[in-house]
Structures are given as structure tokens and as C-alpha cells.
Amino acid sequence: MYYVEWLRVRKVLLVLAIILGVFFLFAMIARIAVSAEIGRTQTWIVNESNKPGTRIAHERLADGAMQTTIDVPSDHDHIVIVDNGWKGKTVTVSGEGVQTDQTHNVQIGSIGVHSIRSSPHGGTVVVDTDEPMSIRTLFAVAALVAFIIATTLSGPLAKENTNHLEVVWTKPLSRERMALGMFGVDAIGMLASMALTIVFLVVCTALFELPRFVVDAQTWPVLALCVLAPFAWYALLTAVSASLKRGWGAVIGLGWLAALILPGIAFGLASAEMPLFHYLGVVLSWLMLLNPITYIHLSGSTAPGDADPAFGYMYGFLGSSATVRAAMLLGLVILYSALSLFQWRRLEA
């Protein structure tokens, strides 16, 4: 039984590896395109440096970086290049020759591009290849992938219920041990999917520039949150399908629809002026505490809940601390796993 579950996990991980491999090829293509763009930028800087009257100054900064300043009077352009060695470069170009329609910031991995429109005749563009990258970003993307893997692997008890439940009961193992063994195999699969995703993201980021990850006090609670949320989602889908012998696939599929739509319905009802709809929305919003997806917002801000104090307090509580949300998700994992075991223990062939 465990071997069969491991074969399912291995198949899912193989598909994930193939998908990540395809995205890696896209990243390689993007890297080639970026290299061409960098080459054009370097050519433009060289051309600007060779214009008559251009002034070039070199200076060693206190931190050891080499700063090159290029002033082009003919075009009213000012270029500052700070070379930090292996840490990358920061290039600032300002003047009338800089055409930018609006102020915006774009960051891909450790490469950040910041455009500032200072006047109708020009602006400033800053390209920094050593932008700090929050490690929470890796956890968040890995958690999203783990949610998909959790959905694919969920319902192992329902899979055993289909067609060969009589054979399952003849095995010399308790039902609890069989179920927990399958849960453990699937948990390893979800953790492996997160690890694969994180490695993929780091490698793709390193294609462009060596990443500089930053860690703060909330990093590890957020890691726990991102690990426990897919586990809780897996446990929920397994609990709602544990006693089913047919149609469990449709139930698991509809789980996503309900989990994503019901929070919006709850907020809409809680915002209604009619007392009946309003209190119905408040009750439904509190029931969303049983939905693991409700806990996934990595910032500390609260979700919209000002329409009603009770509704707002619920979301304020969820937004207060990643540690609190991770603890509640751990409670959901235990609750739904226990419900799954309870149902499967009472199931008759």
C-alpha cells in the first residue's frame, strides 16, 4: 500500500520536474534576451563617452566600490556607474536623453529597474543588479506549487475505498497505521515539491545575477505558514473524501471552487445593509477559519473587514502574526487528520 502511494508521489514529482524544466528553458531564453539588451546599453554608454566634451571621472568609494561618472554636455546626460565587484553594478542615467513615460519600479530576482520621470523633457533610470530579494518570495511560490501537489495527492483513503476496500482490510495492519503511513508518504512528496521549486527559483535567479536574499524576524514563521498551509489543505480534502467510495474526485475538485469563492461571498454578505444577510455573512466569515486558504497572506496587513467590527476583528486576528496563523494551521492539520481517521475506522467494506 505504501509502495503504491509512493508510486503516485513519484509520478507527480516527475511531472513537476518536467514542468519546471520547461520553465527553465524559458528562463534561459529570457537570459539571452537580457544579455542582448545589456549589450545595447553598454554600446550606448560607450557612444556617450566618446562624444566631444564628455567628462569622465573615476573614484574609489569608502566601501571599495569603483564609481565612474560620465557627463555628456551635448545631450545633458549624467551617467553614474558603481561597480561593486561580485555584488553587481548600479547604473544611474539621468538627463534629457532619458525617455520614460512614468515612474515605475520593476524587479526580477536581484535585478531592479527604477524609472523616475522628473520633467516632461527627461527623467532618471536606475538599474541595480544587487537588489535585496526577500526569501519569503521563494516560500510563497513554493507553497503555491505545494497546494497544487496537495490537491493531486489528496484523498488517499478514498482511492483505497474504490473497488478493493475488502482487500485493504485483510492487511495485517491497523487502519490508523495504514492511513498515517499514506499521509506520511504524501507529506514527503509535498515537501519534496517545495524543495524542487525553491531550487528552481534560486537557479533561475542566478542565471541573471547572484541573488541576495534577506531574512528578518518573520521569515521562519512565514516558512512554517507556507509549509503547514498545503498540509492543512491536503488534510481538509482527505477528510471530506475519506468515507467516499465514488465521486471523490469531483468533491476534491469542487473544494478549490468553494475555498476561493466562499470568502468573497462572506465579505459581500457582511457588507450588506439587510440585517439577515449581514449576520449571515459575519457567521460565514468566521466559518472561513476552517478554510486553510484563508490564512495565506504573507504581509501583516489585515484583509478588508471594516464593514463590520466582528468581520474586521476576524481578519485582524488572522493578520496579526504569521506565528499565530501557523499555529492555527497546525491545529487544522491535526483536526482534519483525526476526522479522516475517524471516518475510515468506521467505514465498512
- Rounded mean pLDDT of the chain? 79
Residue pLDDT, tens place only, 314-328: 444 454 577 888 888
Q: Which residue type is seen at 25?
A: L
Has residue 42 been placed in a domain? Answer: no
Q: How many CB atoms lie within 10 A of CB 258?
A: 14
| Interval 256-299: pLDDT, tens | 787 778 777 777 776 777 777 777 877 777 777 888 888 876 44
Checking if the pLDDT of 169 tops 70, the result is no
For residue 197, is pLDDT > 90?
A: yes
Phi–psi pair at 245, nearest 5 degrees: -105, -20
Residues 267 and 287 in one domain: yes
Give a yes or no: residue 30 inside a domain: no
Please report the pLDDT score of residue 302 as a whole number.
40
Question: Alpha-carbon distance 205 to 29, whole Å?
Answer: 13
Q: Judge if 125 and 232 occupy the same domain.
A: no
Q: Give yes or no: residues 63 and 107 share one domain.
A: yes
pLDDT, tens only, 301-310: 444 444 344 4
- Report the candidate in 349, 268, 273, 271 with the shortest Cα–Cα distance to residue 306: 271
Segment 238-267 shows an average pLDDT of 79
The reported pLDDT for the residue numbered 347 is 67
Q: What is the pLDDT of residue 282?
A: 74
Residues 223 and 148 in one domain: yes
User: What pLDDT score was predicted for residue 297?
Assistant: 63
Q: Into how many domains does the chain fold?
A: 2
Judgement on whether residues 157 and 277 belong to the same structural domain of the protein: yes
110 and 141 in a single domain? The answer is no
- Is 259 in contact with 251 (CB distance < 8 Å)? no
Kindly state whether residues 16 and 67 are assigned to the same domain.
no
Please compute the mean of the pLDDT values over residues 240-256 and round it to a whole number: 80
Question: When comparing pLDDT for 15 and 118, which is higher?
Answer: 15
25, pLDDT greater than 90: yes
Residue 119 CB contacts under 8 Å (≥ 6 apart), including other chains: none
DSSP SS3 for 96: coil
Residue pair 67/82 in contact by the 8 Å Cβ criterion: yes
Q: Region of 302 please: left (phi>0), alpha (psi -120 to 50) or beta.
A: beta
Domain closes at, from 95, 110, 130: 130
The residue count for the chain: 349
Q: What is the pLDDT of residues 203-229, one digit of tens each?
A: 988 887 778 888 888 788 888 989 999
- Boundaries of domain holding 97: 53-130
The CA distance from 79 to 70, in Å, is: 5
Angle 285-286-289 from CA coordinates, rounded to 5°: 105
pLDDT digits (tens, 9 = 90+) for 69-122: 888 887 777 888 888 877 778 888 887 666 665 566 777 767 777 777 666 666
User: How much of the chain, in percent, has pLDDT values that exceed 90?
Assistant: 21
